Amino acid sequence: MEKAFTKKKALGQNFLTSDNIPIRIASVCGADENTGVIEIGPGMGILTKQLVKIAPKVVAIELDEELIPYLNERFQSQSNFKLINNDVLKCDIDRILDTEFAGLDCCVCANLPYYITTPIIMMLLEGGYNLKCITVMVQKEVADRLYAKPREDGYGAITASVNYYAKVVKHFKVGAANFSPRPKVDSAVISLIPYKDKPVKPLCEKTFFEVLRGAFATRRKTLANSLGAVFGNRLSKEELQDIIAIDHSLTVRGEELSVAELAKISDRIYMKIEG
Ligand code: SAM
């Protein structure tokens, strides 16, 4: 039985209402007898309840201090459960992995608070943590963006950044009726499997991310013009056009190019600048 609790919209508190969806999320998140779980935002513990059944260790990170006594009481008999009251973006994930998951693999599983979906995903990927898998429920539109291909609707900087770090796997859609309060949009569960050996290896990551930022900043502009806004102080218009023209027409736009193609352009820019 769940305690009466006023949900906080500002913390993205749309809670799942039945065990069916948490059971399905837990079954695809990669937890097993050798793989513990970091859960972000346990809320009232509906997903946690499934995770503690299958993982040797579950560390749940919850920002809302009002939920802490309730969660500690609910899982007090569960010796594999640990609760951290903090903002996940301020946590030292490496330290948690070292101190709580020694000798285990670890995955992340979460019904993410929608207001910080992208910062959380990027923090987990950019940190380069030793995570087997990151399984998250996000708004369906965000999920669609993450597995969009070049030229498809929604393909953009976030698609290219996430796909640079990880393989994106779709699982299933979750209708808005499964949450309380009911959100305006449907959700979807996806896994991001961080590459141990990235398929695309730019010569300079900083330049690569500058290219991504420029390429998708202004969707209707040609790539040559968008990159001019970022590299104009280091390369002439003609130099940028020459670099792009090696493989593409000068009318090409950023959203037409794959991560590998953008990395190739970033390598040429880097070599020209470092010359
Ligand atoms: N897991 C529960 C469920 O599925 O019903 C709750 C999910 S709810 C969408 C998101 C949860 O994340 C809430 O419990 C909220 O308080 C928590 N949260 C919000 N911002 C957070 C942050 N920065 N760090 C950790 N938890 C956060």
H or E, element range at 120: helix 117-126
Return d(Cα 180, Cα 158) in angstroms, integer. 28
pLDDT, residue 220, reads 82
43 Cβ closer than 6 Å to some ligand 1 atom:
yes
Residue 64 Cβ contacting ligand 1 at under 6 Å: yes
Q: From the CA of 204, how far away is ligand 1's center (Å)?
A: 35
- Closest CA relative to residue 85, chosen from 100, 103, 70: 70
Both 145 and 243 in a single domain? no
Q: Is 88 in the pocket of ligand 1 (CB under 6 A)?
A: yes
Average pLDDT in the chain: 96
Question: Tokens 């390369």 identify what position?
Answer: 235
Note whether 138 and 74 are same-domain residues.
Answer: yes
Summarised one tens digit per residue, pLDDT across range 56-67 is: 999 999 999 999
Q: Using an 8 Å Cβ cutoff, are 114 and 183 in contact?
A: yes
In a domain, 3, yes or no: no
**Before 56, cis peptide (omega within 30)?**
no
CATH code, domain with 104: 3.40.50.150
pLDDT of residue 1: 43
> Rounded distance, CA 18 to CA 28, Å?
17
**Is 1 inside a domain boundary?**
no
pLDDT of the residue at 218: 84
- C-alpha 234/C-alpha 229 separation (Å) is 10
**Which pLDDT score, from 0 to 100, does residue 2 have?**
52
Residue found by looking up tokens 């600048």 in the block: 273
List pLDDT tens digits, range 85-124.
999 999 999 999 999 999 999 999 999 999 999 999 999 9
Element (DSSP H or E) covering residue 111: strand 105-111
CATH of the domain at 254: 1.10.8.100
| 179 within ligand 1 shell (Cβ under 6 A) | no
Average pLDDT across each block of 10 residues of the chain; the chain has 275 residues. List them in order: 78 97 98 98 98 98 98 97 98 98 98 97 98 98 96 95 98 98 97 98 98 91 94 96 97 96 98 92
Contact predicate 75/81, CB 8 Å: yes
Tell me which residue has tokens 């808005």.
176
Residues 147, 80, single domain; the answer is yes
Q: Which atom of ligand 1 is nearest to the CA of 114?
A: 9
Ligand 1 centre and the CA of 230: distance in Å?
36
Residue 220 lies in a domain: yes
Pocket test for ligand 1, best of 11, 29, 47, 118 (most atoms within 8 A of CB): 11
Whether 213 and 151 share a structural domain:
no
Residues 62 and 114 in one domain: yes
Residue among 64, 91, 92 whose CB has most ligand 1 atoms within 8 A, to mutate: 64
Its domain, for residue 79, covers 9-194
Q: Give me ligand 1 centre to Cα 264, in Å.
A: 39
